[in-house]
Amino acid sequence: MIIRQSNVLHNYEPFSKVTWLPWGKSLNDGQIHHLFSSVTDDDLINFYQALHRFYLDKFGNIFSDRVFVALDSTSISTYSGKLSNGEWGHNKDGDSTRQINYLHICDEATGLPIYGKLYKGNVVDVSTVQNLIADLAIIMGTQKKLNLTVVTDRGYDSDDNLQDFVRNGFNFLQRSCMKSKWIQDVVEQNRAKLVDDNSYDSYSKQHMYTTSVEYYYDSFPVDGKKKSNRDVINIYVHMYFDEDIYHNARSVAKKNTVDSRDEYNEKIRNLYATAKKDNTKVTPEMLSKVKLKKGMQEFIDSYCKFDSEGYAVIDSVAIDEHVKYAGIMVLLSDNVSEPREALFGYNCRRRVEEHFQTFKDHLNFNRAYASSDKAFKGKFLCQFIAASLYMFLERRIKEYEATDAARKDKIKLTNKSMSRIIDDLNTIMLTSYKGGYFFDEVCGKYRTYFNALGIEVPEAKHDYKDQVNIADGATDADPDYEAEDSAMTLASGEEI
């Protein structure tokens, strides 16, 4: 229902009346509220533990030997003042409302969900890793642990997070901020090798170079005390340089500076012309009062020098310094040694962005449709499952369209929304009777839908255990029709 039409749950009762469900009776609004209200934090943990066991049982070593997982968070806006996690924070949708933060981890290769969590809206990304690691330890328990490589963006870049990953045995692939001093030092030490023509990769169309550095951390930190940083591991620093981004950044900075210089110097010329007309002398004080509007004046102040007459002259060195790190990206990892593999792993983190888009846009959970905490956890769990199922089915369709069977079908499924596909499948009618049921004939595009989604074509079912072979001379003891209405029975007692 959430995927097809809406996550507004008062639509469930009419939906259940025309949809074949694994339970016999539909649920009314009160029953749904009671069901969602019964969901606790322990239930969420139990759900993720069961999900973890399922992955291990179904995929075995394929899933546990090495998994790249994407980690990110987003904000869910709320107008309610009664949700405990609703706080003022940096709203990623630009809404001027309280928000609840939502953290999600999924497998990059398949989009399969691993973990999801709601937390207070005023908590920044960089502060969430320590609690996340504790939650993952509970979910995995004493079972065989996944060999996770956690892929994060710059929002999670901090020394504390890096130390938490290392200390707890989690592999990481983390994009680093170029503002970090030690990252800048590593880049400057290897800049010549990074921009060398031999470091250019034709597949990614950028330069790449990797070096290994020693990273010091504290194995047993004590609250309130400075980290000892006596332990050391080697981590890989993958550096990437995109010439197009660099040249574009420099070109933009240069053009804006040239435009600002020309306008500034025009004012200086006018100042000299006025002084000459008035037969006065241009003083340094008069020159200091010449200003452009705020945006353009910043280019004069940052990237220009002044000659003896007060005219602005572009300082090319200042522009070069400003764009020095433009087009450069740095990824840090403790276990990914190849720059191509690291870049591929980082780019595939878009899986988590796709989940957010599905969760918030396609399934309309950009607003918390709950006024209090009573049923919110249950509603979140339902939304989490719906979004994960949506992504899983989308991935199956994309994989199917790469096959020869899809080319023969000549049906472009990726042009259809998931809700449209489900609506089409919903036109297949089910006829139920005593002892069984049967479906409309499934053919044409409907059979293609089932094949693409990896779902078996539905078949009729009948319970034959009480069937009597009339050919052997036996008779069926059950009446052909049992009238419940007296108007359907003749006075003689014979049934119509």
Cβ neighbours of 430 (radius 10 Å): 12
Q: d(Cα 351, Cα 328) in Å, to the nearest integer?
A: 23
Q: Put the strands of the sheet holding 430-433 in their side by side order.
A: 430-433, 436-439, 461-462
Cβ neighbours of 389 (radius 10 Å): 15
Taking CA 227 as the corner, what is the angle to CA 223 and CA 232, rounded to the nearest 5 degrees?
A: 135
Phi-psi region of 241 (alpha: psi -120 to 50; beta: other; left: phi over 0): beta
* CATH 2.60.40 corresponds to the domain 9-240+329-396: no
Cβ neighbours of residue 85 closer than 8 Å, sequence gap 6 or more: 100, 101, 118, 119, 120, 121
Distances (CA, A) of 129 to 157, 164, 180, 231, 243: 10, 7, 19, 20, 34
Question: So what's the pLDDT on residue 440?
Answer: 77
Q: d(Cα 382, Cα 379) in Å, to the nearest integer?
A: 5
Distances (CA, A) of 70 to 112, 149, 262, 335, 351: 11, 9, 48, 16, 7
Question: So what's the pLDDT on residue 173?
Answer: 94
Structure tokens at 74: 């987003």
Cβ neighbours of 109 (radius 10 Å): 14
Closest CA to 184 of 213, 151, 217, 147: 213
3-state secondary structure of 169: coil
CA dihedral 256, 259, 260, 266 (to 10 degrees): 180
Q: d(Cα 307, Cα 316) in Å, to the nearest integer?
A: 15
Q: d(Cα 47, Cα 150) in Å, to the nearest integer?
A: 21
Taking CA 422 as the corner, what is the angle to CA 419 and CA 424, rounded to the nearest 5 degrees?
A: 110
Four-residue CA torsion sign, 249, 251, 257, 260: negative
Quick one: the chain helix, strand, coil %, rounded to 5?
A: 45, 20, 35
Question: So what's the pLDDT on residue 483?
Answer: 45
Question: So what's the pLDDT on residue 487?
Answer: 47
Question: So what's the pLDDT on residue 249?
Answer: 96
Distances (CA, A) of 50 to 41, 56, 114, 140, 401: 14, 10, 11, 10, 31
Under-50 pLDDT residues of the chain: 470, 481-491, 495-496
Question: So what's the pLDDT on residue 200?
Answer: 96
Structure tokens at 399: 């994989």
Question: So what's the pLDDT on residue 495?
Answer: 47
Question: So what's the pLDDT on residue 485?
Answer: 46
Q: Is the Cβ–Cβ distance between 264 and 292 less than 8 Å? A: yes
